[in-house]
Structure formats: structure tokens, C-alpha cells
Amino acid sequence: MKPVTKVDTSENSNTRPETAESLNHSYERSSGLARRSFLGGAAAAVAATFVSLPASAQTDAIEAAGPERRHQAFQKRLNAAIHERNIRTAPHRSNGDEDRYASKIANFSKALPHNALGEVDLGAYGALLDALSSGKSADFEAIPLGGTAKLVNPQAANTFMLEGADSHALGTRIVPVYAGNEQGSEMAEDYWMALARDVAFADFETDPTIAAAVADLSAFPGYTGPKPVTPATIFRGDTPADLNGPYISQFLWQNLPYGAMVLHQQINTNIAGDDHMTTYSEWLNIQNGVPPSSANQLDSTPRYIRNLRDLAAWVHTDHPYEAGLNAALILLGMKAPFDANNPYGGLTKQSGFASFGTPHILDLVGGTCAAALCGGWFQKWLVHRRVRPEAYAGNVHNHVTGAAQYPLPARLLSSPVLSAVFGKFGSYLLPLAHAEGGPSHPSFPAGHACLAGAAAAALKAFFDESFVIPNPVQASPDGLSLVPYDGPPLTVGGELNKLAANIARGRDAAGVHWRSDGIGGLLLGEAVAIAVLRDRRANYSEDFTGFSLTRFDGKTITI
């Protein structure tokens, strides 16, 4: 009945015997990142013959060379396919919680029918597993739902990718277990982020809610955020340069050159205190797939991102690779230098365009989008099926109120954040920034993070990562203006890393993801982009030494 996956059912599966980095770096090593171009000598010979002919004979020469060119194209595609077939597929292991808990409390079930405790109907969950195992559309259509919300694209989990790594080839870490301290710390962090949504980043040093969050998370076993936890580091991401400068990346603040227009990045955000799903009836209805009873309330004044609520609003309505596209346009607008390996950098009579120019860059940012999402959707639906924070918080509420008993981490149950949430909202549910809560697909890895990780890798491969961002800015505490930033220099590579982390952390700030969802998504998206770059590397005609980029782990590679 269950999809075929390798399952680690040990209680200690949260100790990360293998990480996404180790699995995907193994993939990179076995793939031979700098794969040579095939039949290059034959192509050069054909080109030399062609250019020596008079113009009147060139058409005939092209036609005569047609079969040879077709053979070269076929050989490249065939060789790429054989290459991908021979690469060892990363192991795929869940954390074992689905087998550990018969009630499926640790797994995603939103939009299926639930009982009064928010526990999924086991018949419906079994139908979901049957459909995931068969992959048949008719079986998905037979899954009982609890309301009108639809499951989001589970069939994408079986999509084949014909460029770069197949969607089933790359690995991720084993996600934190339901009863472990790491998941407990991530739940506490999501609660604190919800309570601090309206605190301006500029006020973190003096705000009492931030001080309470710092004290709690500093002493939380299993917490994996930046340490030491201080007002300057709290809620930040884990990429290199994430702790440099303002919380928000320059690519979310700087003016955006969009063709003949220049756009200011003031956004339509939500009003202060616009929190949702804090009553039990509303929470239960939404778990069953019933539409929310109220909508988000928009602030009538556009603002630059100045707090977590604004960041959550940005990642609520963005298009799939909007962050990467905007960053590319900003870099092109500021005339940021290309990577030193760009083959046109030292040429005086040629420039890049379709290859190694603007169209190439923009295509790659978008071109990795579907691949990154399909890789993520495979992990979501067929491997992990991780519970969303909003559902986990429902277990917390029922446990603390005595309605049920769950194996929740003791340190979470003693955290002061629970009394703070109850004191403000009258329940132990997680206040959601989005009226509908999280989307109807499993939590790990975060789709936004997959996209952001892929886009960041693509842009770091094309641009000089060491280039210092000119005229850096930061939002005023009210978000109505930008003011100069005069701290240590901010580089392209660092701000692209920060942008990726901002997108991932914005989903946590909304309450729809866990910290480890974002980290896992960034690493998977990066690995997808590297695989695509590797495949494209084999097809250029220029003298090219390879794409160079610094991964999220700080190591520089050449592809």
C-alpha cells in the first residue's frame, strides 16, 4: 500500500547519518562535473571547411554537413543519458515516524478528513498512500477529501527530468523526528517568529519579545540556528554571509530595473496583527480543507520589507522564481561583472548573448525552476510526507489542554513561548500569517527554498561573487523609505546567499514551514542547478574552462 521508500525506523534517526550535502556531493563527484565535449574535433573540422567556402557554396555545405551535425547532436544527448543512467542514485530514507505512530500524527494530511482532534481518517490516508504507490490519476481522484481544498500536484513526484539530474536522483537529509528536540526547537522558533512578526528588524536589539526569544532558544536543546543566539543573529538563515549586514538581502530592497521601467520594491503587505487560525474551530476546518472564514487584511500603504510580517507577505504572492529573476535584473542593471571564467571576458571583437549573455542568464534562472520543484515534490510526497507546523501545533494545543496525549518534546512543553502565545491568542495554536495556512502538500523540503537555492547557484555561476554591492540600503523602521547602509561591505555572493535564506525563512515566519524545510530545500535546489550546469557545460562551442561558484557550505567548485 505504501510508496516504496527506504525507511529508517530507529529512534535515533534524527542524528543525520548522512546529510543532503554528503549525498549530493557524492553525486557531483561521480558525475565528473567538468564533463568534456564530445566529438569536438569533428565539429571543428566541419566549421573550418565551411568558412573556407565562397558564399555561393555555403548553403550546399550546410546541407551536406546536416547528417554529421545531427549525429553530433544525437551523440551528445545519448551520452548525457548514459551518463545520468550510470550515476548512483542517492538513498532515500524517511525518519520512520509514519510507521512509528499508527495515528499518522507526524505526517502531512491537510485536506483529508480528520476527527475532532485533528487526527486524519486512516482510510483516507491509506487511499493517499495507495495513490502514491500506483501513481495513477484515477487513484488520486479516489482519495476522500474533507472539504474543497485540493492536494497540490502529487503526480509531479514522478516527473522525469531530461536535463540535469532526474527528480529521483538527488538526496536530502533525514528530517527531524516528531518527538525529538530539534523538531521541538523548530516549533518553538515558529511560535516566537509569529509573536515577533510586527517587530521592525531595526528594533530587534531593544524589543522585549526578541529578548525573550533569544533567552529561550539559546537554552533549547537541538536548536540548529546561528549561535550564539543574539538579537543580531536570531531567526537568520544558515548560509555563508547570512550574519553580515541587515537581515534582508539587497536584492529585496534595491530598485528593480524592469525593461524601460524602474520599479521600487515597496510591497503590498498585511496590517499589523493580521494573524489567523488561532481558534480551534477555524484550525480544524482548515485541516479538513474548508476555506478560511476570513481573508488577509492589506495595509493601504506600500512598504519596503521591514519586519517578518512583510517578508511573509512577500513569499505569499510571489511567482515561482521571482526572487531569482529580480536579482538577475538588479545585477545586470548595476553592471555587476561576470564571473572571470566567462569566455567573452577577454575578447575584443565578440560578446556573449544567446550564450553567456543576458538571455542565457535569465533562461537558466527560469530553466532550473521546474527541475528544482519536481525534485522537491518527489521528496515531499514519496519520501518524507512531513507534517506542517500548523498541524503539529494542533497536537500541542490538545495535549496542553488535556484533550489528548502526544509524545511531544518535554522542553517544548516547558517553553515560555506557549504561555506567551496563549496569553495573546487564547489557544496554543500557531498563529498563521496566511489566512489559509500552509498549502496542501507536505512540508519537507520547502518548495520556495528549492527555487531560491537553484536560482542563487545559477547566478553565482554567472556573476563575480566578490563584487561589492554599490550604494547598499536598508528599510526604515516604518518601511516607508530606504536609508543608506554604512556597515561592512556586502558582496554579490553573500547577498545571493542571504536572498535564498530570506525566501526560505519568510515561509517559516508565515508559520507554514520549519527551519530544516528551508535548509533542505536550499541544498536540493543548489544540487539541481549544479546538475543542469554540468549538462549544459558539454554543449558550448566557446573556449570555456567551466562554471565556478561557491556552494552554501562555503566550498568553491568548478563545473
| Buried b or exposed e, range 532-552, using 16+ CB within 10 angstroms | bbbbbbbeeeeeeebbbbbbb
Q: Is the pLDDT of residue 369 over 50?
A: yes
Let me know if 360 is a catalytic residue: no
Q: Is the pLDDT of residue 323 over 80?
A: yes
Q: Is the pLDDT of residue 458 over 80?
A: yes
Whether residue 437 contacts residue 511, with contact meaning beta carbons closer than 8 Å, is answered with yes
Q: pLDDT confidence of 393, banded at 50, 70, 90?
A: very high
pLDDT for position 44: 46
Cα gap 69→361, rounded to integer Å: 26
Measured CA to CA in angstroms, residue 118 lies from 121, 125, 287 at distances of: 9, 13, 7
Nearest to 332 by CA among 362, 305, 355: 362
% residues pLDDT > 70 (the chain): 89
Measured CA to CA in angstroms, residue 115 lies from 75, 83, 430, 477 at distances of: 57, 49, 19, 44
Which cell numbers hold the place of 199? 517587530
pLDDT for position 79: 86
Q: Is residue 118 part of a domain?
A: no
Active-site position among 114, 316, 384, 448:
448
pLDDT for position 27: 54
Side-chain-side CA neighbours of 19 within 13 Å: the count stands at: 10
431: domain CATH number is 1.10.606.10
Q: What angle do CA 66, 70, 74 make, to 5 degrees?
A: 170
Q: Is residue 366 part of a domain?
A: yes
Which cell numbers hold the place of 52? 573556407
Domain count, the chain: 1
Q: Is residue 126 part of a domain?
A: no
What is the extent of the structural domain holding 25? Answer: 6-94+152-558
Measured CA to CA in angstroms, residue 80 lies from 164, 365, 461, 541 at distances of: 9, 21, 21, 17
Q: Is residue 404 part of a domain?
A: yes
Indicate the pairing of strand 6-7 with strand 93-94: parallel
Let me know if 441 is a catalytic residue: yes
pLDDT for position 35: 40
What would the mean pLDDT of 326-334 be, rounded to a whole number? 97
Question: Which amino acid appears at position 168 of this protein?
Answer: H
Q: Is residue 125 part of a domain?
A: no
Element (H, E) at 280: helix 280-287
Q: Is residue 144 part of a domain?
A: no
- pTM comes to 0.91
Q: Is residue 122 part of a domain?
A: no
Q: Is the pLDDT of residue 85 over 90?
A: no
Active-site position among 168, 397, 434, 441:
441
Give bridge partners of residue 473 from the DSSP assignment: 484
Which cell numbers hold the place of 157? 513526484
Residues 6 or more apart in contact with residue 506 via CB below 8 angstroms: 308, 311, 312, 314, 315, 448
Q: What are phi and psi of 178, to 5 degrees?
A: -55, -45
Nearest to 537 by CA among 21, 66, 33: 33
Which cell numbers hold the place of 391? 498541524
Q: Is residue 275 part of a domain?
A: yes
